[in-house]
């Protein structure tokens, strides 16, 4: 089966610290921080909730590695690669 190569830009979830913070400190962090991630890989599966990408593929066996499932609500941009 032939899989499409895609580039997905998405906003990742973020856990700023393990310590306790005031509401004002939390607001300052979340106002200033965006954690944009870009993944490039083969689109293995997609439904209305998720896209599933693999960034590694074995030419010998056809197996995939470095698989990630990204919620569609976090996707900012998507591009089909050649």
pLDDT digits (tens, 9 = 90+) for 26-66: 888 877 767 899 999 999 999 999 999 999 999 888 899 99
Could you tell me which of 81, 78, 63, 79 has the C-alpha nearest to residue 1? 63
The CA radius of gyration of the chain, in Å to the nearest whole number, is 16
13, 58 Cβ separation under 8 angstroms: no
68, 39 Cβ separation under 8 angstroms: yes
| Residue ranges of domains in the chain | 5-81
pLDDT at 13: 85
- Distance (Å, rounded) from C-alpha 82 to C-alpha 77? 17
């Amino acid at each position: 089966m032939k899989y499409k190569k895609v580039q997905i830009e998405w906003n990742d979830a973020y856990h700023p610290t393990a310590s306790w913070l005031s509401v004002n400190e939390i607001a300052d962090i979340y106002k200033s921080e965006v954690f944009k991630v870009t993944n490039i890989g083969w689109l293995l599966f997609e439904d209305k909730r998720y896209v599933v990408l693999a960034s590694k593929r074995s030419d010998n066996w056809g197996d995939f590695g470095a698989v990630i499932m990204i919620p569609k609500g976090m996707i900012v941009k998507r591009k089909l690669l050649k």
